[in-house]
Amino acid sequence: MTTFTIPELAVLVWLTSALVMVAYAASRGNDRASWLWVLGDVSAMAMLLFFWLRPEMPLLVSVAGTNLFGLMQPALHIAALCTLFGAPLRHRGAIVIVVGVTLGNTILSQTGIDPAWRALAMFLGIAVLYLPAVRLFSSMSASTAAPMMLYIGATIAQIGLAFSLIAVALTANEGITQITPVGQGLHFFSSSIIALAINMAFLWLAVARQSDVHAEVQRQVAAELLAAKSMAEEALHAKSVFVASMRHAFRTPLNAVVGFNGLLAMDAGGPLSPVQRDWTRHVDRSANHLLGIIDDVLDLAGLDPVSIRRNRQPVHLAPLLENAAAGVRTEAEEAGVVVTVRCIATDVFAEPGRLAQAVTSLLRNAIGLCRPGDRIHLLAAASCTPDHVRIAVCDTGQGIPLERQPKLFEPFRHVTRSEADPHGSGLGLTLARKSIEAMGGSIAFASWPGEGSSFWMDLPVPAESRGAEAHPTPAVVLFDGLRSPSGNTTEGSIPRGALAAFAAGPAGLPDAVPG
């Protein structure tokens, strides 16, 4: 069985600790502090090599190498610690000490001065090189205090151990027994154990420092998120104030225009000629159109999805749909269009005001697509999506041109007319889509030029109603009462859009286009 001497064991311990540090530095990639520390360990191993081989090499080389690499170790270790803690690194003083002590001891080696004095000068230089570590106390945290104390204690022990050996060597000629080879080996082994402790202290420091940096980054991110949230809330409040003030600022003069124009139309200022009366009708139409555009633009600018989600509540569908249909009935009658409502669903979970606005927008959009004599059906029933209700607006109008369908939900897009059309703002469908999506729903459509269109939106039901409407309503129940002008209730008299919206029609229908 192979046996090791004490110095060999010491070298093995030192090599093991150095290899551990190399492995750690390799795992850290481009971590500068770890590689500086490894270079310090390599310098210590080089010092041992020069010390070990000093009988076989010239005296000047042995002294110069031992001093140079012995002094580089603490210099590199302190540089590594400063890098680890982010402290300023002052390298000029360290270079002066390393070069000065190395040259001084190399020159002194040619004199008769006891080598122990040269060793004393070297370890005094090491002690001075460690002094910058005092500055690192201000960077310590609760997690790095313990490993830093271990590092300082082990460093003091290492320097003290070296001084004790030097003291024995200097006093040997005064009658004190010189240290034996076994004592030297034990001294060397103790020094290697202390070096291992110093390396472990650095590993502990690196891990603790990494934890501190991570925690600091998290605190900074949290602070930045909080600041960003505060700024967003302030911006949202400012936007709300701006929208409210702009609505008032725009509507006030326009209301005056509409009001005075109405007075003129009532002959309040005297009878009007037919041409003048026609002009007042144009003014009234244009002013109300402008009011609608302003309302839509400000609604889109002031739309707050967070507020819509927060204000959702169970909404009874039947009265809401009846009110929406009643609100556009005058427009429909003027266009020669019949609007019918069929609701066999109960409640949805939505923001009432925005839902009513979205339904009204779809109805007005359908009126714009219809010709005199066409019909519009406002339908509501359980959706094919579980725990959702589908609200559909189906018409028998002229349909949407194929080239306009892909961009239908973009702002300022009109369904049938040119982009310069004076009727409608082109924002109704955009507002409807954003509102429905903010309520947790979805919107889609299908259209057939010359045959009609269907727009539908799926909205969740309240939590307490989940499961009650999990299956789609049979088409025969939903379409009961939807009669064509001839009074028939056959499938052929049901608008194609209604069949598509509730998956009751023949195969081959085009896919729905999502909002």
Amino acid 480 reads D
Q: Are 155 and 198 in contact (CB under 8 A)?
A: yes
350: part of which helix (H) or strand (E)? strand 347-350
How is 371-440 classified by DSSP, letter by letter? -TT-EEEEEEEE-SSTTEEEEEEEE-S----GGGGGGTTSTT--SSS-TT-SSS-S-HHHHHHHHHHHTT
At 141, list the tokens: 């945290």
Residue in the structure block whose two tokens are 């140079």: 68
Question: Bridge partners of 388?
Answer: 460
Task: Give the CB-side neighbour count of residue 100, counting CA atoms within 13 A.
Answer: 12
Residue 137 tokens read as 């106390």
CA dist 504 and 473 (Å) reads 10
Q: Cα(447)–Cα(400) distance, rounded to whole angstroms?
A: 6
Same fold, 6-226 and 312-514: no
Q: How many other C-beta atoms can be found within 10 angstroms of the C-beta atom of residue 460?
A: 20
Statement: residue 488 has pLDDT above 60 = no
The pLDDT of residue 305: 77
Distance between alpha carbon 29 and the CA centroid of its chain, in Å?
26
What's the CA gap between 490 and 116, in Å, rounded? 116
d(CA 476, CA 497): 15
pLDDT score for 5: 62
How far apart CA 451 and CA 375 sit, in angstroms, is 11
Query: What's the whole-number mean pLDDT along residues 167-176?
Result: 59
Using alpha carbons, select from 197, 206, 207 the residue that is nearest to residue 17: 197
Question: pLDDT confidence of 459, banded at 50, 70, 90?
Answer: very high
Q: What is the per-residue pLDDT across 248-292, written as a single tens digit (0 to 9) for each?
A: 667 777 777 778 777 777 777 778 878 887 888 878 777 776 777
Provide the token pair at 136: 């690192």
- The percent of residues in the chain predicted with pLDDT above 90, rounded, is 8
Helix 142-171 to helix 115-129 angle (10° resolution) is 170
Assessment of whether the complete model's pTM goes beyond 0.75: no
| Cα–Cα distance for residue pair 351/439, rounded to 1 Å | 7
Return the CATH architecture of domain 312-514. 2-Layer Sandwich (3.30)
Q: What is the 3-state secondary structure (H, E, C) of 423-476?
A: CCCCCHHHHHHHHHHHCCCEEEEEEECCCEEEEEEEEECCHHHCCCCCCCCCHH
Rounded to whole angstroms, how far apart are CA atoms 325 and 512? 24
- Domain spans of the chain? 6-226, 312-514
- In three-state secondary structure terms, 495 is coil
pLDDT at 404: 79
Average pLDDT over residues 115-132: 83
- What is the average pLDDT across 280-309? 73
Comparing C-alpha atoms, which of 193, 216, 85, 71 is closest to residue 148? 85
Question: What average pLDDT score do residues 322-339 get?
Answer: 91
CA 108 and chain centroid, separation:
65
Average pLDDT, the chain: 78
The owner of tokens 């999990």 is: 470
Report how far residue 371's alpha carbon sits from residue 69's, in angstroms, rounded to the nearest whole number: 97
Bridge partners (DSSP) listed for residue 514: 444
Q: For residue 177, what pLDDT is reported?
A: 47
- Residue 70 scores a pLDDT above 80: yes
Q: What is the pLDDT of residue 349?
A: 92
Which of 81-85, 270-274, 467-471 shows the lowest mean pLDDT across its residues?
A: 467-471
What is the rounded distance in angstroms from the CA atom of residue 288 to the CA atom of residue 284?
Answer: 6
489 vs 89, more confident: 89
Which pLDDT score is estimated for 182? 66
474: Cβ contacts below 8 Å, ≥ 6 apart: none
Residue 308's pLDDT band (cuts 50, 70, 90): confident
Q: In the beta sheet, which residues pair with residue 306?
A: none
Distance separating alpha carbons of residues 76 and 46, to the nearest angstrom: 14
Q: How confident is the model at residue 178 (pLDDT cuts 50, 70, 90)?
A: low
Least confident of 74-83, 117-126, 372-381, 501-510: 501-510
Residue 369 CB contacts under 8 Å (≥ 6 apart), including other chains: 395, 397, 398, 399, 400, 415, 416, 452, 453
pLDDT-based confidence at residue 511 (cuts at 50, 70, 90): very low
pLDDT given for residue 430 in this prediction: 82
Residue 359: pLDDT band (50, 70, 90) is very high
Interval 92-115 mean pLDDT: 85
Maximum alpha-carbon separation in the chain: 138
Model confidence band, residue 376 (pLDDT cutoffs 50, 70, 90): very high
Q: What is the pLDDT of residue 6?
A: 60
Examine the pLDDT at 176 and tell me if it is beyond 60.
no
CA 406, 411, 415, 417 torsion-angle sign: negative
Q: Which residues of 24-51 are buried (b: 16+ CB within 10 A; e: fewer)?
A: bbeeeeebebbbbbbbbbbbbebbbebe
The pLDDT value recorded for residue 514 is: 47
Q: Which amino acid is at 193?
A: I
Can you give the pLDDT at residue 243?
67
What are the pLDDT digits (tens) for 203-238?
888 888 888 888 888 899 999 998 888 887 777 677
Over residues 90-100, the mean pLDDT reads: 86
Write the CATH number of the domain with boundaries 6-226. 1.20.1070
On the CB side of 454, how many CA atoms lie within 13 Å of its CA? 27
